[in-house]
């Protein structure tokens, strides 16, 4: 009788490597590893060797980069979805794509369970499991870090010793380092001095994609981008798919110290955590898109869109991407992008993105209306009646208050 199969979300790191023999020992599963490529650097040969040495029967490496960009990043950029006014959702946006891939492989292999290496206090356990539930509510989910009695390990040293006891000799170190998550959109950093919100980050030790603004070039660099219906199409006259646009902007942004944020955020589980996010290309893309929207979207639509963008950020952060609410928000946002077409120019200089001109065939900006002469469409005398009506509630309240004061 063949063994039941489990799909392991595999990064190749110490945690998920130790999980392979642990799953076989405690559940007698056949372990099939799935590594999701969402634009981070992957050594495929090393992953293959490491997973097989650790006892996996098979390794899938799924290239999800374009899916991640087209189906998750673009909708969030179009919505201007930013969590708690700072976090550009780099980790959050990637998780639903990965969860869907895990389910697809589980169905292909006839697996009965999916396993992940997330801790019991983080956000990713929620994002992975809600994504899995949305497509495969029948599959068992195994989270070793929440199974204290069976897992039995609480440090990197203990995991290294566990691997050695199972014949797995790999170049893992027990030395402390930052906890990082990387993909095409960003890299996050947690741990070490960042655990003290009163401590300044050691940027010289920490940064991977960027330099600090102080170390950026002394000369600004001009960049031109085009959009078509809210989707980026080119950088500096070079047309590219979205993933390549982000790669290009990452290089430009990293060079000029763009998109480094230090945030204390509220996790879904209720605790606060402090982290540093590098999102050089994403920060530029979000700002360029906003710059174009300012020109073409009317005030009332823009107001509601901003509210829904904040809600989409929360929904994405909480792992509820595959829900009717997300579909409804994305449908609204997509309708607003019909005329978000044009050219955006800006310059990058020491951490800043500085406007250098925006053009669109659908611009709602009227030079004649905006100028002091205003032209035939606007008569200054009309403002008097408008202000009287617009301010009527204020005037009525003042009269009522004045009347009450005279009675006293």
* Sign of the Cα pseudo-torsion (223, 261, 80, 331, in order): positive
- Where do the DSSP E strands lie in 243-349? 260-266, 272-278, 342-349
Out of 54, 124, 127, 274, which one is annotated catalytic? 124
Is 181 noted as a catalytic residue in this protein? Answer: no
Identified catalytic residue from 15, 37, 67, 181: 15
Q: Are 281 and 252 in contact (CB under 8 A)?
A: yes
Angle at 8 between CA 4 and CA 11, to 5 degrees: 160
DSSP letter, residue 71: I
Is 37 tagged catalytic? no
Q: In what order do the strands lie in the sheet with 179-182?
A: 179-182, 187-190, 272-278, 260-266
Cβ atoms of 201 and 262 closer than 8 Å:
yes
Query: Strand 238-239 vs strand 231-235: parallel, antiparallel, or unpaired?
Result: antiparallel
Distances from the Cα of 118 to the Cαs of 9, 298, 341, 356, 395, in angstroms?
A: 10, 43, 40, 44, 59
Q: 14, 156, 80, 50: which is closest to 333 by C-alpha?
A: 80
Cβ atoms of 38 and 130 within 8 Å: the answer is no
Catalytic residue among 57, 70, 179, 244: 179
Report the C-alpha gap between 93 and 317 in whole angstroms.
8
Catalytic residue, candidates 11, 37, 67, 95: 95
299 flagged as catalytic: no
Nearest one of 243, 102, 124 to 190, comparing CA atoms: 124
Pairing of strands 140-142, 113-115: parallel
Rounded Cα distance, 398 and 76, in Å: 44
**188 labelled catalytic:** no
Using CA atoms, how far residue 175 sits from 67, 158, 187, 304, in Å, is 35, 12, 20, 49
The phi-psi region of residue 406 (left if phi > 0; otherwise alpha if psi is between -120 and 50; otherwise beta) is alpha
Q: Which residues are marked as active site?
A: 15, 95, 124, 179
């Amino acid at each position: 009788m063949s063994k039941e199969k489990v799909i392991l979300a595999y990064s190749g790191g110490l945690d998920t490597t130790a999980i392979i023999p642990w799953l076989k020992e405690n559940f007698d599963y056949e372990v099939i590893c799935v590594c999701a490529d969402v634009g981070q650097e992957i050594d495929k040969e090393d992953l293959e060797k490491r997973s097989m040495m650790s006892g996996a029967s098979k390794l899938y490496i799924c290239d999800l980069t374009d899916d991640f960009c087209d189906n998750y990043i673009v909708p969030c950029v179009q919505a201007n979805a930013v969590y708690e006014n700072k976090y550009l959702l780099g980790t959050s946006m990637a998780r639903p794509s990965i969860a869907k891939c895990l389910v697809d492989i589980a169905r292909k292999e006839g697996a009965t369970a999916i396993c992940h290496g997330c801790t019991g206090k983080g956000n990713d356990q929620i994002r992975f499991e809600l994504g899995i539930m949305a497509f495969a509510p029948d599959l068992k989910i195994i989270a070793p870090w929440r199974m204290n009695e069976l897992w039995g390990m609480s440090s990197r040293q203990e995991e290294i010793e566990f691997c050695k006891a199972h014949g797995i000799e790999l170049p893992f170190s027990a030395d402390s380092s930052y906890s990082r998550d990387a993909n095409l959109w960003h890299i996050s950093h947690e741990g070490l001095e960042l655990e003290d919100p009163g401590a300044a980050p050691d940027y010289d030790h920490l940064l991977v994609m960027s330099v600090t603004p102080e170390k950026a070039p002394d000369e600004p660099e001009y960049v031109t981008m085009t959009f078509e219906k809210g989707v980026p199409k080119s950088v500096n006259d070079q047309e590219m798919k979205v993933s390549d646009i982000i790669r290009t902007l990452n290089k430009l942004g990293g060079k000029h110290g763009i998109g480094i944020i230090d945030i204390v955020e509220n996790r879904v589980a209720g605790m606060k955590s402090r982290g540093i996010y590098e999102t050089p290309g994403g920060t530029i893309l979000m700002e360029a898109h906003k710059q174009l929207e300012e020109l073409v979207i009317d005030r009332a639509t823009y107001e509601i869109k901003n509210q829904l963008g904040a809600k989409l950020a929360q929904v994405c952060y909480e792992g509820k991407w595959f829900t009717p609410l997300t579909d409804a928000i994305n449908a609204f946002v997509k309708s607003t992008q019909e005329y978000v077409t044009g050219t955006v120019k800006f310059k990058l200089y020491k951490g800043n993105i500085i406007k250098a001109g925006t053009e669109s065939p659908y611009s709602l900006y009227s030079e004649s209306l905006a100028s002091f002469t205003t032209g035939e469409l606007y008569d200054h005398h009309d403002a008097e009646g408008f202000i009287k009506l617009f301010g009527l509630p204020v005037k009525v309240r003042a009269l009522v208050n004045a009347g009450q004061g005279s009675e006293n």
